[in-house]
Amino acid sequence: MTRRLWSDFVSELEPYVPGEQPRVDNLVKLNTNENPYGPSPQVAEAIKTELGDELRLYPPPNADRLKQAIADYHKVDVKQVFVGNGSDEVLAHAFNGLFRHGKPLLFPDITYSFYPVYCGLYEIEERKIPLTDDFEITVDDYLVPNGGIIFPNPNAPTGRLLPLDSIASLLRRNRDSVVCVDEAYIDFGGDSAIALVEEFDNLLVIQTLSKSRSLAGLRLGFAIGHPELIEALERIKNSFNSYPVSRLAIAGGVAAFADEDYFQQTCEAVIASRVTLVEALERLDFEVIPSAANFALARHPDYSGEYLMSALRERNIIVRHFGAARIEQFLRITVGTPQQIALLLAALEEIIV
Ligand SMILES: *Cc1c(COP(=O)(O)O)cnc(C)c1O
């Protein structure tokens, strides 16, 4: 095609590059932080029940059942809940609806790489605030004029957790713009900032069912915050796609929140495996950043991240390597099952001589 049909805007976008999803047998897939355990069996049951004639009908536009299940679970009012197709969509609406103020959005220099992509899409100026040498967030560095603040907690891809009292302190001293805490990994070892939503009307907490509830393939995420923040997200959603969450996703999501035992057991299993993984990596001389998530960021003093990633790949094990500044020596390894971790460690012992 020789004619130029793209707008300049599209030509200049720098889209997000997701971790790969190869279809290879016996692959040990530790690259995209999915849960190694399947979703609660009750989720599949609920989806099966939903499969029928009703699929000819649009889903309820407000996903009321799912919102109510989330509100009940987190003990908030349903007016404080927004749901979307994965937290990436919820984040998109938050950027579009809450961060376009002509002032920079603040986020850590090492963080979820979708944030700069959304800044490009929604033409938001960004200002990256450096983490410390140990990859910690320094709250005081965020007390500068801003059109919003966002960070994952635990941070990704570092895994480091910012304690709740530091988040409260940031909120207390930054009342005039929205602070968004992206809690994709909070269930693996932290206290949710949802506890602060009543106190701070400028706090938006975003969570996903992709990680701790093993439903990455169903695409469900949600936000909890002051009803006025939620209303902004609803206004964006209803100007974009007013039926975002499918009937199957609503049914599966409700079932996921109902099976608390399964949720607790699988989270505990992942946390126990993280401990095993970190200890074993340290025995192999890796430096491991303390993680409260379902992954670990680690580097070896003698082997580059890129080399280790390729050597593992030759052995059918995939982990994530980021070319970005400050973390190019690191591997981000998703916590798998005990068996997957054993395979990873056996491979590393072979590679590291
Ligand atoms: C995985 C992840 C998300 C996106 O999850 P969805 O699958 O879109 O719900 C959002 N933020 C962070 C930091 C993540 O790691």
Domain positions in the chain are 2-38+261-351, 41-259
What does the pLDDT read at residue 24? 84
Please state, in angstroms and as integers, the Cα–Cα distance from residue 148 to each residue in 3, 179, 313, following that order: 40, 6, 39
Nearest atom in ligand 1 to 111's CA: 13
Q: Is 181 in the pocket of ligand 1 (CB under 6 A)?
A: no
CB of 88 sitting under 6 A from ligand 1: yes
Domain 41-259, CATH among 3.40.640.10, 1.10.3720.10, 3.40.50.300, 3.40.50.460: 3.40.640.10
Take residue 246 and report the two structure tokens written for it.
Answer: 């499918």
* Sites in the chain below the pLDDT cut of 70: 1-2
pLDDT digit string, tens, across residues 196-215 = 999 999 999 999 999 999 99
CATH architecture under which domain 2-38+261-351 falls: Alpha-Beta Complex (3.90)
Question: Which contacts (CB < 8 Å, 24+ apart) does range 129-138 have?
Answer: 131/155, 131/158, 134/289, 135/110, 135/160, 135/289, 135/297, 136/160, 136/162, 137/108, 137/162, 137/166
Chain centroid offset of residue 151 CA: 10
> How far is the C-alpha of 304 from the C-alpha of 327, rounded, in Å?
11
Answer yes or no: are the C-beta atoms of 295 and 33 closer than 8 Å: yes
Q: What is the pLDDT of residue 4?
A: 84
216 lines ligand 1 (CB under 6 A): yes
Q: How much is the pLDDT for 20? A: 83
pTM over 0.95: yes
